[in-house]
């Protein structure tokens, strides 16, 4: 028998807010400085991927020593941190804050499960940090998505079973991580990217929690 849903875990970027453009500009600055090939097509492959893994995708097999990689990812993060200062409550996607409030009012636990090491800073900038019962980020576990570790860590912190969780994700790696954790996955974005999810919505605005609760 299917377990009752008790918690919702949200990816941050692309579900609650969208800092993709800031990531793109930060990586582009680094690529220009270090003469690396980078464009929006490459940037799409970085969705939901950790910082170092993102650099490996950009390097595309190019040999670079570990110290240089660390310096490059730190520099990219410095650029990104600067962009983050611009984020305000206005950057919450569509009616996501109202959706979060509704779930809380109905007694569901809500959490953030993000690969970003900057997730807490972003949530504070958005002024919704205190809404969440748990926050897991890139500092929480060793193995990044598509490994299930981040979501399993979140479920433990919420005090619920993985089968009692629904994950909302906009990245293929995140959908795979949710399914590997034995959770229900709701994809947000194009079918080509999140089509493995149990349910798919084209954008945040179209997410329907009544339908999610009914079908999952």
3-state secondary structure the chain: CCCCCCEEEECCECCCECCHHHHHHHHHHHHHHHCCCCCHHHHHCCCCCCHHHHHHHHHCCCCCCHHHHHHHHHHHHHHHHHHHCCCCHHHECCCHHHHHHHHHHCCCEEEEECCCCCHHHHHHHHCCHHHCCEEECCCCCCCCCCCCHHHHHHHHHHCCCHHHEEEEECCHHHHHHHHHCCCEEEEECCHHHHCCCCEEECCHHHCCHHHHHHHC
Confidence of residue 2 (pLDDT cuts 50, 70, 90): low
pLDDT (average), residues 179-187: 98
Q: Is 65 assigned to a binding site?
A: no
Question: What share of the chain has pLDDT > 90, as a percent?
Answer: 92
- Quick check: is 13 catalytic? yes
pLDDT for res 50: 85
- Residue 213's φ and ψ, nearest 5 degrees, are -65, -35
Q: Is 216 annotated as a binding residue?
A: no
Q: Which candidate in 11, 133, 205, 210 is catalytic? A: 11
The arrangement of secondary structure in 7-18+88-215, i.e. its CATH architecture, is 3-Layer(aba) Sandwich (3.40)
- Cα–Cα dist 74/99, whole Å: 35
Q: CA–CA separation, 214 vs 216, rounded Å? A: 6
Is 145 annotated as ligand-binding?
A: yes
Render pLDDT for 58-94 as a digit per residue (tens, 0 to 9): 999 999 999 999 999 999 999 999 999 999 999 999 9
Quick one: average pLDDT of 196-216?
A: 96
**Does residue 30 register a pLDDT over 90?**
yes
- CB atoms inside a 10 Å sphere around CB 78: 12
Name the CATH superfamily, with its identifier, for domain 20-84.
Putative phosphatase; domain 2 (1.10.150.240)
d(CA 80, CA 27): 9
Residues 199 and 212: beta-carbon distance below 8 Å: yes
Which pLDDT band, with edges at 50, 70 and 90, does 48 fall under? confident
The pLDDT tens digits for 103-156 are: 999 999 999 999 988 999 999 999 999 999 999 999 999 998 999 999 999 999
> Is 12 assigned to a binding site?
yes
Taking residues 35-46, report their average pLDDT: 94
Q: For 158-171, write each residue's pLDDT tens digit.
A: 999 999 999 999 99
Among residues 13, 35, 149, 205, which one is catalytic? Answer: 13
Domain boundaries of the chain, sorted by first residue: 7-18+88-215, 20-84
Report how far apart, in Å, the C-alpha atoms of 148 and of each of 116, 137, 141, 142, 181 are: 15, 13, 10, 11, 5
Q: How far apart are CA 101 and CA 95, in angstroms?
A: 10
The mean per-residue pLDDT over the stretch 180-199 comes to 96
pLDDT of residue 1 exceeding 60, the answer is: no
């Amino acid at each position: 028998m299917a377990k009752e849903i008790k918690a919702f875990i949200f990816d941050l970027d692309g579900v609650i807010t969208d800092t993709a453009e800031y990531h793109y500009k930060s990586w582009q600055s680094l690529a220009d400085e270090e003469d690396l090939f980078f464009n929006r097509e490459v940037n799409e492959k970085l969705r939901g991927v950790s910082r170092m893994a993102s650099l490996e995708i950009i390097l595309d097999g190019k040999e670079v020593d570990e110290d240089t990689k660390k310096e490059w990812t730190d520099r990219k993060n410095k650029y990104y941190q600067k962009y983050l200062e611009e984020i305000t409550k206005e950057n919450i996607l569509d009616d996501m804050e109202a959706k979060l409030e509704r779930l809380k009012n109905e007694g569901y636990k809500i959490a953030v499960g993000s690969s970003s090491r900057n997730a807490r800073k972003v949530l504070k900038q958005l002024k919704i940090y205190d809404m969440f019962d748990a926050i897991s980020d890139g500092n929480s576990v060793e193995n990044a998505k598509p490994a299930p570790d981040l979501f399993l860590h979140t479920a433990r912190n919420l005090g619920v079973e993985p089968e009692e969780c629904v994950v909302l994700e906009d990245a293929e790696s995140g959908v795979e991580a949710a399914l590997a954790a034995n959770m229900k996955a709701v994809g947000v974005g194009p079918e080509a990217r999140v089509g493995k999810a149990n349910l798919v919505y084209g954008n945040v605005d179209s997410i329907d929690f009544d339908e999610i609760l009914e079908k999952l």
